[in-house]
């Protein structure tokens, strides 16, 4: 029985691979991979040396992570904006979240697939500098879920909705940039970025949960739902639950950190004013 299932899956994959549009998505993924490699190895170091003097003072390991985070920020902005456009204007996907026309979603997921494979390669190659088991698991889980979107065109709305989370990435990376450049946690740029990071993280990862799960609830048990393979349903639902548990934990940590920074900033301001009055 299992062998028949594997054979059917291979036949579906082969038919999909022969489709001209699927070949285009494959080309986009490959182009994305090489683009992000180029950005990491050439563009980021060249731009960073001209934008920030602190880049030249970093250690070799720090420069590797700097370039990795720069590429991560670029990917997040490109994919996040594309994702937002689809969410607002792609009626086919919004009206049929399970089997709606996945054309634009596939293009966006293809870009992300190329980035994830590129980032995995860099993580393994520069393991001592940026190696992280969590990121490896995250990337592999994402690629597994995207297989069903790219290979079978299912669940385009939910796959696209998940990419909204990328909007929080630039602020998270900027926090690291400030830290490695020696900015005090109580400095105005750090405080502003911290508040923005907490607000955006909440909006794109926590506040959107009711919308996401309400759509999941309304399609559960429908004919469209049962047309999704068992593997597709598992990748969709289990990954959603696990990811959102982690999002809630991260939100708690971010909120606590933001509160501490704001409180220390107010205390420092109060001390400064008090010293000014004393003098």
Distances in whole angstroms, Cα of residue 226 to Cα of each of 98, 100, 119, 230, 233: 10, 15, 34, 9, 9
Is a pLDDT exceeding 60 seen at residue 9? no
Percent of the chain with pLDDT over 90: 61
Mean pLDDT of the chain: 87
**CA-based diameter of the chain, in Å?**
85
Is a pLDDT exceeding 50 seen at residue 2? no
Is a pLDDT exceeding 50 seen at residue 242? yes
Q: Please state the separation of Cα 132 from the chain's center in Å.
A: 16
Stated pTM of the model: 0.85
Is a pLDDT exceeding 60 seen at residue 103? yes
Average pLDDT of the segment spanning 192-198? 92
d(CA 52, CA 189): 15
pLDDT for the residue numbered 276:
55
Q: How many residues does the chain have?
A: 279
d(CA 145, CA 100): 17
d(CA 69, CA 65): 6
Is 107 within 8 Å of 25 (Cβ atoms)?
yes
Is a pLDDT exceeding 80 seen at residue 21? no
Token pair recorded at residue 191: 């405080």
Q: What are phi and psi of 164, to 5 degrees?
A: -60, -30
Q: What are phi and psi of 187, to 5 degrees?
A: -70, 155
Token pair recorded at residue 99: 């089997």
Q: What are phi and psi of 184, to 5 degrees?
A: -65, 150
Is a pLDDT exceeding 90 seen at residue 36? yes
């Amino acid at each position: 029985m299992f062998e028949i299932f594997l054979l059917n899956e291979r036949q579906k994959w082969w038919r999909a691979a022969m489709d001209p549009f699927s070949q285009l998505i494959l080309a986009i993924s490959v182009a994305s991979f090489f683009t992000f490699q180029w950005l990491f190895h050439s563009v980021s170091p060249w731009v960073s040396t001209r934008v920030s003097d602190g880049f030249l003072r970093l250690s070799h390991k720090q420069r590797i992570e700097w370039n990795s985070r720069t590429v991560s920020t670029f990917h997040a902005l490109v994919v996040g904006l594309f994702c937002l456009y689809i969410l607002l204007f792609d009626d086919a996907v919004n009206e049929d979240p399970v089997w709606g026309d996945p054309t634009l979603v596939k293009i966006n997921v293809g870009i992300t697939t190329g980035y994830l494979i590129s980032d995995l390669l860099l993580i393994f190659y520069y393991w001592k500098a940026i190696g992280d088991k969590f990121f490896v698991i995250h990337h592999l889980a994402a690629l597994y879920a995207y297989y069903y979107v790219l290979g079978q065109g299912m669940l385009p709305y939910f796959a696209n909705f998940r990419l909204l989370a990328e909007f929080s990435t630039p602020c998270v990376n900027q926090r690291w940039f400030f830290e490695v450049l020696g900015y005090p946690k109580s400095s105005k740029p750090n405080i502003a970025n911290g508040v923005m990071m907490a607000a955006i993280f909440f909006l794109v990862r926590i506040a959107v949960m009711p919308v996401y799960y309400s759509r999941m609830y309304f399609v559960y048990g429908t004919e469209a739902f049962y047309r999704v393979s068992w593997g597709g349903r598992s990748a969709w639902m289990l990954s959603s639950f696990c990811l959102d548990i982690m999002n809630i934990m991260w939100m708690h940590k971010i909120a606590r950190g933001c509160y501490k920074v704001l409180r220390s900033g107010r205390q420092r301001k109060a001390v400064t004013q008090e010293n000014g009055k004393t003098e």
